[in-house]
Chain A
Amino acid sequence: MTSVAIEVFLQTLIAGLLLGGLYALIGLGMTLIMGVMKIINLAHGELMMVGMYIAYWMFVLFNIDPYLSVFIATPILFFLGIALQKFLINPVLKVEAILPENQVILTVGIGMVLANLATIFFTSDYRSTPVSYATNAFYLSDYWKASPIELSLSVPWSVSFILAVIITISLWFFLARTDTGKSIRATAQDTDAALLMGVNVKLMRVVTFGIGSGLVGAAGCLFLPIYYLFPSLGGQFTLIAFVITILGGLGSTIGAIIGGLILGVFESMTATYIGMGWAPVGRFVIFVVCLIFLPGGVASLLKRKKLGK
């Protein structure tokens, strides 16, 4: 391999990992909700869109950096998620319907309403956030003069990635170490047993929906400096989150992280070696391949290893 080919490969890999870190954050929210509620939240991408608009207007109106808006958008989305769960999804859960899928259909409706409200209020214009560091980058040759190859690392991408990692680690810490986190995991694993242990299962469902929404709202803020914004971008990210959730194994947090990274790298490779326009195709290919050969997702592989089978 020539040094150019190596450069291209490494550069693609880095871009993929950076994208994957952000994807993981989007996927985590969906998989958490999936684990506890047993439903796919198909308004997930639209919630991210809401987070992005919050960060956008904070920047335009008050000149608040999108990265700082994480602290504004996450709590707003948390409470929006709680409201959606409490007033829209819970009442539908209570009804003994013929189709348990009703809740999923409801989330599609919520997504549509959010996207169209955004169109009414903000028009369908594409917007981008002109942060001063948008095109800045770190270059390997600046740090290592004798480097045989040249690699660059975009500043906003790197910052977004690092923040995504920090948020993911905090979430892991919350789920693993706090009683509330353990209660959420317990509810996901066995609702009745959790109830017997004194877990307020209804509250956990509401809180989980809030956390899932808050996470994707944070992801929206992290995406804003590197992506453009328009009201109907949600669908695409719902799909991405869905693929990651399947790839990771339904309800598995560690699976979602690995799934996000795999999808990021795969899309990045597809874009470099096949063509920019093919990245979404790559997404579907990996989805179908996963359903055929690894229907349990990454989580089933990890489980097999742990159980020594």
Chain B
Amino acid sequence: MLEVKNIDVFYGDVQVIWDVAFEVRKGEVVALIGANGAGKSTTLKTISGILRPKKGEVIFEGEPINKVEPYKLIEKGIALCPEARRLFVEMTVEENLDMGSLRGEAKKQRQNTKEMVFELFPRLSERRRQLAGTLSGGEQQMVAVGRGLMSLPKLLMFDEPSLGLAPILVREIFSVIKRIRQEGTTVLIVEQNTKQTLAIADRAYVLETGKITLEGTGQALLNDEHVKKAYLGV
């Protein structure tokens, strides 16, 4: 479904991604794990078109997308729940959800999808007219996930969904991600919360200083000596 083919990405003159290649198959949950500054978020930003690779290609459903205008990607079926949520804080919960469904089929289905999101997160239904900036961190993350779902994505990408959340909420978010996958959406997730991420991932890649150093199934990586030592602290 998604193929990242040997991309190099730069911030100005500084290269941060070196020859990274991986793929996500339909129906999978794939994780990118790694330390701070390893290039995980940069990789997601490149897939979503905010950054451009200097070398290599990003291919989605057989079509190269690394030259497509970033605002057109959501209509092709790629959505990103960005790092730190990036909600529109001075808009209501409902308006934030509307923003996820501006185009095409998603716009036609807006009311239905919204009902589905409210069913997934009943708390948001109660607060639909509240400004997003006034919500708690956990509720904001629910809005971010909901906003991503509103576009009826084929591939939903999460950038650090557990960032800054209490453990109980982290568990809730991961169980939602599992549910999203069960309903047929492919998931690409970037996380520092290695243990829980590998537990729900079909396959995972380890990024270290901009290069992929390891890959395997979630289970295999959980048992890998290097991963254990470097990321799980055991």
Alpha-carbon distance A177/B162, docked complex (angstroms): 32
- Residues of B contacting A186 with CB < 8 Å? 88, 91, 99
B102 near A198 with CB under 8 A, answer: yes
Within 8 A of A (CB), among B67-103: 69-75, 79-80, 82, 86-91, 95, 98-100, 102-103
Alpha-carbon distance A185/B74, docked complex (angstroms): 19
Alpha-carbon distance A189/B88, docked complex (angstroms): 6
Alpha-carbon distance A93/B173, docked complex (angstroms): 39
- Residues of A contacting B131 with CB < 8 Å? 306
A196 near B90 with CB under 8 A, answer: no
Residue of B71, B87, B151 contacting most chain A CB atoms (<10 Å): B71
The verdict on A101 contacting chain B, using a C-beta distance below 8 Å, is no
Which residue in chain B gives the minimum CB-CB distance to A201? B71
B98 near A196 with CB under 8 A, answer: no
Looking at the assembled complex, report how far the CB atom of A159 sits from the nearest CB atom of chain B, in whole angstroms: 34
Alpha-carbon distance A192/B41, docked complex (angstroms): 14
- Residues of A contacting B74 with CB < 8 Å? 196-198
Interface 1/0s, chain A 187-216, versus B by CB < 8 A? 001101111111111000000000000000
Interface 1/0s, chain B 42-84, versus A by CB < 8 A? 0000001110000000000000000001111111000110100
B70 near A195 with CB under 8 A, answer: yes
* Given known contacts A179-B102, A198-B74, A198-B102, A185 and B82 CB-to-CB distance under 8 angstroms: no
Q: Count of chain B residues with Cβ under 8 Å from any Cβ of A?
A: 31
B102 near A193 with CB under 8 A, answer: no
Interface 1/0s, chain A 160-204, versus B by CB < 8 A? 000000000000000000010011011001101111111111000
The verdict on B133 contacting chain A, using a C-beta distance below 8 Å, is yes
Which residue in chain A gives the minimum CB-CB distance to B12? A96
A196 near B102 with CB under 8 A, answer: no
Residues of A within 8 A of B (CB): 179, 182-183, 185-186, 189-190, 192-201, 306-308
Residues of B within 8 A of A (CB): 48-50, 69-75, 79-80, 82, 86-91, 95, 98-100, 102-103, 107, 131, 133-134, 147, 151
Q: A196-B74, A196-B79 are in contact. List 6 more A-B contacts (CB 8 A).
A: A193-B87, A195-B71, A196-B48, A196-B82, A197-B147, A199-B102
In the A-B complex, the 8 residue pairs with the closest CB atoms: A198-B74, A193-B86, A189-B88, A197-B99, A200-B71, A198-B102, A186-B88, A198-B103
A-B contact pairs, 14 of them (CB 8 A): A179-B102, A185-B90, A185-B91, A186-B91, A190-B88, A196-B70, A196-B80, A197-B74, A197-B147, A197-B151, A198-B103, A199-B71, A199-B99, A308-B134
